[in-house]
Structure 1
Amino acid sequence: MFARFFAPLSSGVKPAFAAFLLLSSVLLTSCGDKNGDTVFFPIENDLQLGMQVSQQADSLYASKGQLLDRNSPNPRTRAAYAHLDQIVERILESGQVTYRDEFPWDVKIIDDKNVQNAFATPGGHIYVFTGLISYLDNEDQLAGVLGHEIAHADQRHSIKQLQKQYGISVISGLILGSEAGGLERVITQAGGQFLGLKFSRDYEREADEFSVLYLGATDYYACDGAAGFFQKMQALENRGTPPEFASTHPAPGNRIQDIQAHARQRGCKTETASNTGFQEFKRNLGL
């Protein structure tokens, strides 16, 4: 809650002036990014919102029998999770993830071979569908997707979009304490929307750029792995079967070229990683 970040005000201070003082304090202490977005919410709210969205996602896919248990008695499922965890860990250990230690960064597999999709909640809960894994050719492409989704969480895109959606009036009410439990109510109302959240092109472009940064810093994956992924998605769209990923991740025509240009600018490795065990990983998932 915002209230704990501010000292109590004297009862003699007029509400309008109190609003001005408190809002000014937030504006002065909040930080902005290169897109000009000022983040009013503390990082704890990413964690709170992410936990709620993750619980909703777990419940939804578990009810369909699609949420794979990482502690399954099936050794192939456990091996698949170990491999996926290794990819995520390599990205997190790149030294470029801002909230490496603050977010849980757990990854879960949804067994739906008809869905080519992946998403991350605020606070770093990551979901990958077997339909996406099945369609990809190599681990660089999957690492590119994971880097992209990690960037959405690490750059706080969901919480920024929530902030834009609910506006300054809600924030002001929270600061003044005139909305008891207001933040929790906003988060509860918005939680379900994040399973199909559409980000702006600026946020998508930023996630692509950070994917290149993350992968390049691993010195293991081709840093433009996300470009290979989008080439696969473009092939599906050209056949008239757009993947679900395209419905939540707008794909401008120059996106592949932008990723490749960013990789050239950074001078990072673009050769496909070999001997990653990616095909065995797919076989362990029955793909």
Structure 2
Amino acid sequence: MTKSKIKVLSALIVLGGLLTFSACDENNNFVPLFTVEDDKKLGEQVSGEIAADPATYPILDRAEYADAYAYLDGMVNEILNNGDVAYRDEFVWAVNIIHGDETLNAFATPGGYIYVYTGLIKYLDEADDLAGVLGHEIAHADLRHTSRNLQKQYGVQILLSILLGQDAGQLTQIAGQIAGTVAGLSFSREFEAEADDRAVEYNAKTKYACDGVKNFFQKLEDEGAAGGTPEFLSTHPSPVTRVADITAKASEIGCDTSLSGDTGYETFKTNLPI
């Protein structure tokens, strides 16, 4: 047997052990085998892929739209500083605005890169609504939902490449795949419910209404948007179900659901391109 075959066989044996003993903890909770450092590397590469494709992702320039970014950064930082974000200091938590007035979407990549479309910002009526959506996206990153999806889809290949010291090329390949589909990224109902709940918990410790995330789904329902529901909601629980679940979560923890009265939100929207 050649040395290379022995190396691969050894890696597979180690990998088998990892999959057997590390996929769940003693309470049978799922444990990501993809490391936090891998999250950070992958997020950086995905961010680079997105920045290199302005035709698909026309990101607003920070210097030109400094006032808009200052407002959004302030909102994101207030949510991040609630004390419950596990990777507050490890991830970059960089937020970008994508010019797309017809797109009601926001998404987050591994490592804390957050993207929000102008269409969603302009669609939402209150600062609390946007804070709720941002809390939801922060939760996806902090709960490492993309990495957990990757483990299910690519787990063996990723771990084997890492064990063989080939993770950089593998991560680059996956980063390109994620960047090509991230705007339409969908998570399981379990992950969406988890992110909704965490958004309520996050915003309970801010000036924003803790249940603000439900207002997006309520507006979609009120406007009868079933035929025009954003693509990224197509596999999610229905808006009415999510409103009920978010309302129940807010009631469960007894948090403040009154609007913040943030008058700067309208000015923020006027600072965006028409």
TM-score, structure 2 normalization: 0.86
Structure 1 CA distance, aligned partners of 2:26 and 2:121?
32
**1:59 counterpart letter in structure 2:** A
SS at match of 2:95: strand
Structure 1 CA distance, aligned partners of 2:229 and 2:248?
25
Q: 1:261/1:68 Cα in 2 relative to 1: closer, same or farther (>3 Å)?
A: same
**1:68 counterpart letter in structure 2:** L
**1:56 matched to 2:46:** no
**1:63 counterpart letter in structure 2:** A
In structure 2, the residue matched to 1:280 is: 267
In structure 2, the residue matched to 1:255 is: 242
In structure 1, the residue matched to 2:58 is: 66
SS at match of 1:134: helix
Structure 1 CA distance, aligned partners of 2:82 and 2:60?
27
**1:124 counterpart letter in structure 2:** G
Give the conservation status (yes or no) of the 8 Å contact 1:32–1:39. no
**1:196 counterpart letter in structure 2:** G
Among candidates 33, 37, 40, match of residue 47 of structure 1: 40
Alignment length (residue pairs): 270
Structure 1 unaligned residues grouped into runs of 5+? 1-10
SS at match of 2:38: helix
Greater Cα offset, 50-59 or 142-151: 50-59
Structure 2 unaligned residues grouped into runs of 5+? none
Among candidates 180, 185, 188, match of residue 200 of structure 1: 188
Q: 1:133/1:179 Cα in 2 relative to 1: closer, same or farther (>3 Å)?
A: closer
Q: 1:111/1:236 Cα in 2 relative to 1: closer, same or farther (>3 Å)?
A: farther
Q: Deviations over 1:37-64 (max 9, x none)?
A: 220011111111111221222222x336
Structure 2 CA distance, aligned partners of 1:107 and 1:14?
42
**1:46 counterpart letter in structure 2:** D
Q: 1:278/1:26 Cα in 2 relative to 1: closer, same or farther (>3 Å)?
A: same
Give the conservation status (yes or no) of the 8 Å contact 1:237–1:243. no
**2:216 counterpart letter in structure 1:** F
SS at match of 1:108: strand
Deviation, structure 1 residue 182: 6.0
Among candidates 126, 136, 143, match of residue 131 of structure 2: 143
Q: 1:35/1:195 Cα in 2 relative to 1: closer, same or farther (>3 Å)?
A: farther
Give the conservation status (yes or no) of the 8 Å contact 1:140–1:272. yes
Q: Deviations over 1:162-202 (max 9, x none)?
A: 1101243x245236528675633552453333332210000
Among candidates 194, 203, 207, match of residue 215 of structure 1: 203
Among candidates 77, 81, 101, match of residue 69 of structure 2: 81
Q: 1:63/1:208 Cα in 2 relative to 1: closer, same or farther (>3 Å)?
A: same
Q: State the identity as a percent.
A: 47
In structure 2, the residue matched to 1:8 is: none
Deviation, structure 1 residue 248: 6.8
TM-score, structure 1 normalization: 0.82
**2:124 counterpart letter in structure 1:** L
Give the conservation status (yes or no) of the 8 Å contact 2:203–2:210. yes
In structure 1, the residue matched to 2:215 is: 228
In structure 1, the residue matched to 2:84 is: 96
Deviation, structure 1 residue 242: 1.7
Structure 2 CA distance, aligned partners of 1:175 and 1:205?
31
Greater Cα offset, 229-238 or 176-185: 176-185
Q: Deviations over 1:18-39 (max 9, x none)?
A: 6444543576567759893220
Greater Cα offset, 267-276 or 91-100: 267-276
Deviation, structure 1 residue 282: 1.1
Give the conservation status (yes or no) of the 8 Å contact 2:221–2:239. no
Among candidates 174, 180, 189, match of residue 187 of structure 1: 174
Structure 2 CA distance, aligned partners of 1:165 and 1:212?
29
Deviation, structure 1 residue 203: 0.4
